[in-house]
Amino acid sequence: RDVTERVIVASKGRFQRALSADERARRGLPHESTISTEDFMALTLDVWQTPTESAKRVGHPAPFPVELPEKLIELYTFADDLVLDPFVGSGSTLVAASRLGRRYVGYDLDPGYLELAAARLADEGHPLELADERQAGSKERVQQVLEAAGFTQIDGPNVRIKGVGLGAPYVVTDADGGRWVILIGGPFVRYRGGLNSADAVWRTLGQAHALRGAGERVLVLTSDVPRRRTEFDQAIRAAGPDALHDVIDVFDGDALERLAAYAGGERDVVPGFW
CATH code at 237? 3.40.1350
- Strand extents, DSSP E, 61-197: 82-85, 103-106, 153-155, 159-161, 166-168, 170-173, 179-185
**Is this model's pTM higher than 0.75 or not?**
no
Least confident of 113-122, 152-161, 187-196: 187-196
Q: Which of 95, 130, 165 is the C-terminal boundary of a domain?
A: 130
In a domain, 249, yes or no: yes
Tell whether 199 is covered by a domain: yes
Whether residue 40 sits in one domain with residue 89: yes
Read off the amino acid at residue 153: Q
Let me know: does 178 contact 58? Beta carbons within 8 Å: no
Residue 210's pLDDT band (boundaries 50, 70, 90)? very high
Q: Are residues 45 and 65 in the same domain?
A: yes
User: CA 242 to CA 222: how far, in whole Å?
Assistant: 18
Residue 15 resides in a domain: no
Q: Is residue 89 part of a domain?
A: yes
pLDDT digits (tens, 9 = 90+) for 159-171: 999 888 888 999 9
Q: Is the pLDDT of residue 134 over 70?
A: no
What confidence tens digit (pLDDT) does each residue in 50-85 have? 777 666 666 666 678 888 999 999 999 999 999 999
Rounded to 5 degrees, φ, ψ at 103 are -80, 160
- The whole domain housing 213 covers 135-263
CATH code of the domain containing 109: 3.40.50.150
- The pLDDT tens digits of the residues spanning 241-251 come to 999 999 999 99
Flag whether 4 is in a domain: no
The total of structural domains in the chain comes to 2
